[in-house]
Homo-oligomer: A and B are copies of this chain.
Amino acid sequence: MIELHPIMAIGEVRPGDDLAGLLAPALAGFVCDGDDILVVTQKIVSKAEGRFVDLGAVTPGPQALELAAVTHKDPRLVELVLAESDAVVRAVPNVLITRHRSGHVVANAGIDRSNLGPGDPERVLLLPIDCDASAARLRAALGALMSSAPRIVISDSFGRPWRNGVINVALGASGLPALIDRRGEIDRDGRALEVTQVALGDLAASAAGLLMGEGAEGVPAVLIRGLSAPDEPNTASALVRPVEQDLFR
């Protein structure tokens, strides 16, 4: 059996906050073991890292103005999206999808305007600088505060081509195989497996998404217990399909 526990009551996260210090007391009721996975929202990581930007301080350049006209979006937001991205994947009315510099393909470069806490309504929140690095730091910091640190997934909710509604994916991971590679294994009848790579980080993120919701609940983290995974850790960057293998360029 796998258990999913909502981790609450860490309060509003502010720039400079020590996330591990906030999360450790909320995890105190659990005797974590090395198989446990703590999924945290990208939002609290970004807030702790102070990734807020005041739109009033942004001056859109020519490309942002052009794309803003196409997408009907705020040119200042588009300027930030472009600064955070390596390539524009799709720009049509109300839609701006880019390849974030981390490689993840996401709407609006993952920039967020909701549930940012009290403050300037023109404030937006960028993704963390490097989610895999943030996950590794959080895992190390929790390890210093707890007898055994959980594996870490940093999650965000993404839309998808062809399917309605968002799901949760892994933008950062530490201590678990975000991508399980089973090439070479065989099925129960001795035939080669057709499915050889499993996006464990994304599965864990979506499982946590059952509790995180998107609304007023504010569940910033979920502890997944009872899942055994191969001890071959890799990062969420393993989930990014290289551009040259992208079928929809």
Q: Which residues of A contact B (CB under 8 A)?
A: 1-6, 90, 92, 95, 97, 104-105, 112-118, 121, 157, 160-169, 179-180, 182, 185-189, 191-195, 197-200, 202-204, 206-207, 209-211, 213-216, 218, 224, 227, 238-241, 246-248
Contact = CB atoms under 8 A, between A and B. Distances in A.
A195 B164 contact: no
Copies of this protein chain in the complex: 2
A167 B117 contact: no
Contact of A167 (B105, B182, B199, B214): B199
B90 A210 contact: no
Contact of A115 (B116, B180, B187, B247): B187
Nearest to A95: B247
Contact of A199 (B163, B238, B240): B163
Contacts of A211: 2
Report which residue of A6, A95, A112, A165 has the largest number of chain B beta carbons within 10 angstroms of its beta carbon. Answer: A165
Contact of A169 (B1, B113, B163): B163
A199 B164 CA distance: 7
A247 B165 contact: no
Given A203-B168, A227-B210, A195 B114 contact: yes
A161 to B, nearest CB: 5
A90 B187 contact: no
A165 B198 contact: yes
Contacts of A95: 247
Nearest to A215: B185
* 6 cross-chain pairs, A with B, having the tightest CB-CB distances, nearest first: A165-B199, A206-B206, A207-B207, A2-B4, A105-B162, A114-B187
Contacts of A241: 161-164
A156 to B, nearest CB: 10
Report which residue of A97, A113, A193, A203 has the largest number of chain B beta carbons within 10 angstroms of its beta carbon. Answer: A203
Given A168-B203, A202-B163, A215-B185, A4 B5 contact: no
Contacts of A214: 182, 193, 195, 198
